[in-house]
């Protein structure tokens, strides 16, 4: 059955849809029309899209597919296959369609929130996930995703509250327990974090990252060094991403009172940039970390296709202009502070750990 509805221009997310800002109206409308036509075609729907300048909106005439839930599930599969932007665009478009059932709209918004987290669009993820919980107050998985988004924005106490709410509804949810442990670590509540990581290990005993986090807690408390050594060794025995394994090995070297193997290519300038990043992080208000991460990510995304990227960048969130190298080092330091288990690769890891040891 043919249906018609209008999408206001203000509902177009130019950043997510990768449409440049500031375009003339005719060029903007052409790009948006092309975008929506592609989205509806990929859903398997026949649709005509036209721009109406009088209402500043895009008029859609389409035949609604029978299986909207199937489209939502396929969009989620795109996210899980490493294509979160494609999945998010599909879901965002679908949520603009009127008269979806509550089950369809809730599930689409939940999956979209997770995709926005993957893309590090944490503000958008928070807005979407709050709507999910408003419609379905017992959606514990949305609470976990919302808690993670708040953590990444630097709102640790808010993140903790959502994670605890989720666990009150699903006490054995391993992801919620793990994220709560990370949240407590970030608040220097390491003894409490140990309790949560041990709970999570009982549920997922082969997760090497949990043992590294547990070892880090013991290391900070400096009360049970043999426990810390055992945790790092367990992580090494299980194996995992090289960056995680190198982290565990460096802790083992420390406890064995051995010198970390030297590297002829050790970069003093990168080491100094990491030291500078740690100093900046230490003086940042809690809520600013996520803002800086989001701004750096947006700058890198905007310049990723340039063969000759800028030598310096203006960061409005800290009101400074810094070099590309300093910005990359700051990004790594802040992300690993907010989410210690993030795989940031192994590049310049010796310089990072040396700076962290001397911060």
Is 263 a residue whose pLDDT tops 60?
A: no
Residue percentage of the chain with pLDDT more than 70: 92
User: In this structure, what DSSP letter does residue 11 have?
Assistant: G
Which pLDDT score, from 0 to 100, does residue 134 have?
97
Concatenated DSSP letters for 102-170?
A: HHHHHHHHHHHHHHHHHTT-HHHHHHHHHHHHHH-TT-HHHHHHHHHHHHHTT-HHHHHHHHHHHHHH-
Q: Residue 341's pLDDT band (boundaries 50, 70, 90)? A: low
- Between helices 68-80 and 102-118, what is the axis angle to 10°? 10
Is 159 a residue whose pLDDT tops 90?
A: yes
At 280 the three-state DSSP class reads helix
pLDDT tens digit sequence for 137-156: 999 999 999 999 999 888 99
Distances (CA, A) of 31 to 12, 93, 128, 177, 215: 11, 14, 25, 43, 51
Q: Look-up: residue for tokens 């939502």?
A: 72
Is 306 a residue whose pLDDT tops 70?
A: no
Query: What average pLDDT does the structure give for the chain?
Result: 88
For 316, phi then psi, to 5°, come to -65, -30
At 8 the three-state DSSP class reads strand
Q: Average pLDDT in the 298-306 region?
A: 75
Q: Average pLDDT in the 36-56 region?
A: 92
Q: How many CB atoms lie within 10 A of CB 249?
A: 16
Please answer whether residues 143 and 135 qualify as being in contact, where contact means their C-beta atoms are separated by less than 8 angstroms. Answer: no
Distances (CA, A) of 77 to 26, 80, 111: 34, 5, 10
pLDDT tens digit sequence for 234-255: 998 898 888 888 888 888 777 7
Distance CA 114, CA 175 (A): 13
Please answer whether residues 75 and 93 qualify as being in contact, where contact means their C-beta atoms are separated by less than 8 angstroms. Answer: no
Distance CA 41, CA 89 (A): 13
Is 305 a residue whose pLDDT tops 50?
A: yes
- Reported pTM: 0.73
Q: Residue 177's pLDDT band (boundaries 50, 70, 90)? A: very high
pLDDT tens digit sequence for 276-293: 888 888 888 767 888 888
Which pLDDT score, from 0 to 100, does residue 258 have?
43
Which pLDDT score, from 0 to 100, does residue 301 have?
79
Q: Residue 307's pLDDT band (boundaries 50, 70, 90)? A: low
Is 257 a residue whose pLDDT tops 60?
A: no
Q: Average pLDDT in the 219-224 region?
A: 81
At 88 the three-state DSSP class reads helix
Mean pLDDT lowest among 176-180, 184-188, 193-197 = 184-188
Is 317 a residue whose pLDDT tops 90?
A: no
- Per residue, what are the HEC states of 175-219? HHHHHHHHHHHHCCCHHHHHHHHHHHHHHCCCCHHHHHHHHHHHH
């Amino acid at each position: 059955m043919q249906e018609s509805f209008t999408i206001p221009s203000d509902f177009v997310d130019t950043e997510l849809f990768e449409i440049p800002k500031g375009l003339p109206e005719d060029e903007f409308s052409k790009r948006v029309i092309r975008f929506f036509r592609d989205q509806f075609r990929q859903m398997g729907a026949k649709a005509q899209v036209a721009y109406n300048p009088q209402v500043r909106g895009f008029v859609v005439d389409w035949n609604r597919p029978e299986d909207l839930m199937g489209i939502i599930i396929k969009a989620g599969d795109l996210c899980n296959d490493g294509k979160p932007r494609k999945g998010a665009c599909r879901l965002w478009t679908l949520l603009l369609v009127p008269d979806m059932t509550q089950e369809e709209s809730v599930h689409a918004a939940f999956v979209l929130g997770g995709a926005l987290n993957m893309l590090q669009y944490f503000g958008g993820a928070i807005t979407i996930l709050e709507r999910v919980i408003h419609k379905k107050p017992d959606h514990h998985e949305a609470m976990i995703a919302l808690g993670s988004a708040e953590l990444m924005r630097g709102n640790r106490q808010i993140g903790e509250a959502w994670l605890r709410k989720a666990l009150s509804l699903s006490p054995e949810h391993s992801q919620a327990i793990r994220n709560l442990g990370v949240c407590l670590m970030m608040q220097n509540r390491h003894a409490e974090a140990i309790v949560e990581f041990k709970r999570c290990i009982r549920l997922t005993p082969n997760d090497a990252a949990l043992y590294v986090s547990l070892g880090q807690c013991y290391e900070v408390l400096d009360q049970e060094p043999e426990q810390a050594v055992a945790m790092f060794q367990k992580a090494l025995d299980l194996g995992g991403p090289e960056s995680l394994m190198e982290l565990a090995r460096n802790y083992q070297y420390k406890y064995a009172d051995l010198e970390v193997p030297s590297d002829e290519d050790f970069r003093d300038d990168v080491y100094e940039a990491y030291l500078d990043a740690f100093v900046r992080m230490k003086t940042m208000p809690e809520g600013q970390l996520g803002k800086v991460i989001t701004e750096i990510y947006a700058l890198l995304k905007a310049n990723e296709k340039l063969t000759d990227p800028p030598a310096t960048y203006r960061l409005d969130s800290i009101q400074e202009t810094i070099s590309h190298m300093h910005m990359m080092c700051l990004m790594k330091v802040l992300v690993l502070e907010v989410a210690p288990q993030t795989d940031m690769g192994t590049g310049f890891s010796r310089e990072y750990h040396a700076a962290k040891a001397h911060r």
